[in-house]
Amino acid sequence: MAASLEELYEVLASALNAWNVQFRPEMGARDVPGWDSMHHMMLILEVNDRFGVDLSPEATAELPDIAALLAAIQAAQQGA
């Protein structure tokens, strides 16, 4: 089953301890308090575990926003 925005929002809230943030697809690390390099690594580890993919923190650091992260997850799930 392909990853959804709602599932990704749950992972973001958990990994970033940002339960009070109203995530939107166009948001990036600069828009979320606490989304620093350490939390990004934790986020990607949780993304990999939750969605069964193998994204690297380095490759995903250049993604501009949550929508691009979701696209990368879905591409990895498709085997692209």
Phi then psi for residue 27, to 5 deg, are -75, 145
Nearest to 12 by CA among 52, 31, 56, 59: 31
Range of the structural domain that residue 62 is part of: 5-78
Number of domains composing the chain: 1
Q: What is the pTM of this model?
A: 0.92
Residues with Cβ within 8 Å of 72's Cβ and at least 6 positions away in sequence, in order, are 55, 59, 60, 63
The CATH number given to whatever domain includes residue 18 is 1.10.1200.10
pLDDT tens readout for residues 17-65: 999 999 999 999 999 998 999 999 999 999 999 999 999 999 899 999 9
Q: Which amino acid is at 53?
A: V
CA angle, 67 as apex, 63 and 72 as ends, to 5°? 60
